Structure 1
Amino acid sequence: MERIDTHAHVVPEVWRKYCSENGYDRPDGMPAIPAWTAEEHIGLMDKLGVSKSILSITSPGTHLRTNDDDLAQRVTQETNDAVAEICRSHPDKFGFFASLPLPDVAGSIKEIDRALDNLGALGFALMTNAHGYYLGDNHLDKVFSKLNDRKAIVFMHPTSCHSHKSPETERPLSQYPAPMLEFFFDTTRAVVNLILSGTVARYPDITYLVSHCGGALPPLVERFSSFSTRILGGDAAVDSNSVKDLFKSRFYFDLAGFPFPDQIHGLLRQADASRLLYGSDYPYTPAFALTGMGARMDEELHKLLDEETVREIYSGNAKRLLKF
């Protein structure tokens, strides 16, 4: 069965070099930035039945030094250029979500047009927070206004928790790699802030892709929505049915990671199967693990859903979203 991979990473050498030079050679507590080549990625795609992968840069993104916007713009442009060239060399296999130098607003607005008009980006990969500015922060409003003007797709990828007021503060439970637990919580922070800040409502032409089956979000919908309505009130108020409507109209969720056998049930209570997408998280999930994980995904999806719905999750939903 054909698959389109909307959560697939790329490691261009220029980005690897900048990460190493700026102290990110072991990002988020992981052992290393993994090796990546287009040839190895395509070979894995063939084994997994993936017809096309949408490449993106993962954590820590491209703004690598606090308050150094000039460096961030240089890293972002060189990285996006490198990824675009990879895609041009393999147009039948790869597309990409471009990076932005957030929280640099002016640089990000310029890069949005360049990436869409000159490089052929399909959308944008944004970290859940940029040096502590979470998606939905009013500091980023002009960027979201521009993304809305361009009717952009925003692929949200988790990163380590930060505070822009205390950027050097150690992340919670730093003895464990952030992708193990903290990434799920940072995804949840970002989505909740996007909704409660009114960003999703103010900019109705942005479509959001949320990583890892929604992170820790699904069991918390009733809590944050009821709290916002009954305790906070005012502009922050939103009820759980409205949130669920957003999840069925403005958001998609990929199945990268370990959503089976348990996590998937929580998400399906909040969003329906038409909003689910296949994702591998390669190469941060290594190739040797993905064959078994793919078989597990296939088995578990067929327990829950009919054949045609599974087919849509694997490729049809992505084709409509990306206009393939």
Structure 2
Amino acid sequence: MKVVAVEEHLSTEAFLRVAHGLAVAAGDETEVGLMRRVETLPALRTRLTDLDLRLRDMDALGQDVAVLSLNPPGVQPYPGPDAVPLAVQFNDALAAIVRRRPDRFGGLATVAPQDPSAAAAEIERAVGPLGLHGVMINSHTGGRYLDEPGFAPLLASAEANRAPIYLHPRAPGSSEGYRDHGLSGAIWGYQAEAGLHAMRLILSGTLDRFPELTVVLGHLGEGIPYWLRRIDNRHAFAARTAGAATPMPRLSLTPSEYFRRNFVITTSGIDDPDVVELALRTVGEDRIMFAIDTPYEDPAAALTFLRDTPLTEDQRSAISHRTAERVFGIGQGVSSKPDEQRGQGDSAGPADAPDPVDGTRLPP
């Protein structure tokens, strides 16, 4: 079984040295402080930065490809003049990694939505000259969401360049109700925030303006598949009610039709056969991709789940690699060599070629 995992985080020592010295936007201090502590822990820092170790782990588990993305929340908490060049530098480093081992790695660019025009240009560069496979955006930026008109250049570039946007969770930006009991993080706040962002894109009419846009959601849809029937029902009711509390744009489709047309979901962090069964009934296997969420989830448990959960072989094939190959345009050249041959040198250059941004060694 070919295995492509599509939410696999990394960083570089060069990025961390710069990012940990930057000022942080008001409201993002707690989240960034927590992530900086995580990135300083030796074991997690190694798992984020050591790609030789990553390849050894992938080989041991039988994982063919990792689609790499910058550790969240990326560059979004930083001032635009700092975030824009930092994104460019990181994308250069990521592209070098992918060029070095295209049989083992794909890449999702990072951008700075703080400057939508610069983000639009960077998306075009990333999926064009750099050869990356999409973009990851960590939900809100300074409490602002992609349905707002100011972000139209970014969405237009993603649509025009056929760059899927992986809408990754981050801590909610403003609600006091999330501040206590650990609720702002992965226990609840992350999925609630990403689900809110996705629903804003749907209900705002944004996907009528950008009908070819592809948005990827982790955690098997951030809860939305569970609610889709009620969302359709209540949206229709609200649209019929002249006294609706909040004015709503007129939509061309039902909310569930946008979800099935424009969204693809991944298994990251949800190793639950019952939820997968619901997702299959909701969107079908051709809109579900396998993801681990390295280094925050257990890769061995995720791979065991992929292999053992009750699926037809066609469903397993779609989830394990086929959907990712189609959505991100990767995996067609995935190595079919025996496991013992993986990780050996290839023709991309000398095994000790330096990373042009970080100065560290790329994996052989």
Fold-level similarity (TM above 0.5):
yes
Q: 1:18 to 1:226 in 2, by over 3 A?
A: farther
Q: In structure 1, what residue type is equivalent to 2:322?
A: G
Q: 1:103 to 1:26 in 2, by over 3 A?
A: closer
CA contact (8 A) 1:229 1:237 kept: no
Q: Measure the CA separation in 1 of the matches of 2:69 and 2:94.
A: 8
What corresponds to 2:77 in structure 1?
64
Q: What secondary structure is seen at the aligned counterpart in 1 of 2:64? A: strand
What corresponds to 1:312 in structure 2?
318
Q: 1:185 to 1:276 in 2, by over 3 A?
A: same
| Aligned positions of 1:1-324 closer than 5 A | 1-22=1-22, 27=32, 29=34, 32-33=38-39, 34-35=44-45, 36=48, 37-65=50-78, 68-163=79-174, 171-173=178-180, 175-176=182-183, 178-232=185-239, 236=249, 242-285=254-297, 289-300=298-309, 303=310, 305-323=311-329, 324=332
Q: Measure the CA separation in 2 of the matches of 1:235 and 1:280.
A: 36
Q: 1:131 to 1:26 in 2, by over 3 A?
A: closer
Q: Which runs of 5+ in 2 are unaligned?
A: 241-246, 333-364
Provide, for residues 53-112 of structure 1, a one-character-per-residue CA deviation record: whole Å limited to 9, x for no partner. Answer: 1111132121332xx211111211111112112222222211111011013112212212
The worse-fitting range, judged by mean Cα deviation, of 250-259 and 25-34 is: 25-34
Q: Measure the CA separation in 2 of the matches of 1:267 and 1:81.
A: 35
Q: 1:172 to 1:225 in 2, by over 3 A?
A: farther
Q: What secondary structure is seen at the aligned counterpart in 2 of 1:95? A: strand
Provide, for residues 102-136 of structure 1, a one-character-per-residue CA deviation record: whole Å limited to 9, x for no partner. Answer: 13112212212221222111111111111111232
CA contact (8 A) 1:77 1:111 kept: yes
Q: 1:237 to 1:272 in 2, by over 3 A?
A: farther
Q: Measure the CA separation in 1 of the matches of 2:16 and 2:91.
A: 13
Relative contact order (C-alpha < 8 Å, sep 6+): which is higher?
Answer: 2
Q: Measure the CA separation in 2 of the matches of 1:155 and 1:257.
A: 15
TM-score by length of 1: 0.86
Q: Measure the CA separation in 1 of the matches of 2:318 and 2:277.
A: 18
CA contact (8 A) 1:187 1:216 kept: no
What corresponds to 2:352 in structure 1?
none
State the Cα distance separating 1:275 from its structure 2 match: 0.8
CA contact (8 A) 1:226 1:238 kept: no
The worse-fitting range, judged by mean Cα deviation, of 200-209 and 272-281 is: 200-209
From the two aligned structures, give the one with the greater strand fraction: 1
State the Cα distance separating 1:235 from its structure 2 match: 5.0
Q: What secondary structure is seen at the aligned counterpart in 2 of 1:120? A: coil
The worse-fitting range, judged by mean Cα deviation, of 69-78 and 44-53 is: 44-53
Which structure is larger by alpha-carbon Rg, 1 or 2?
2
Q: 1:25 to 1:2 in 2, by over 3 A?
A: farther
CA contact (8 A) 1:151 1:206 kept: yes
Q: 1:149 to 1:26 in 2, by over 3 A?
A: closer
Q: Measure the CA separation in 1 of the matches of 2:154 and 2:12.
A: 25
Q: Measure the CA separation in 2 of the matches of 1:275 and 1:6.
A: 13
State the Cα distance separating 1:293 from its structure 2 match: 3.1
Q: What secondary structure is seen at the aligned counterpart in 2 of 1:118? A: coil
TM-score by length of 2: 0.78
Q: 1:120 to 1:225 in 2, by over 3 A?
A: same
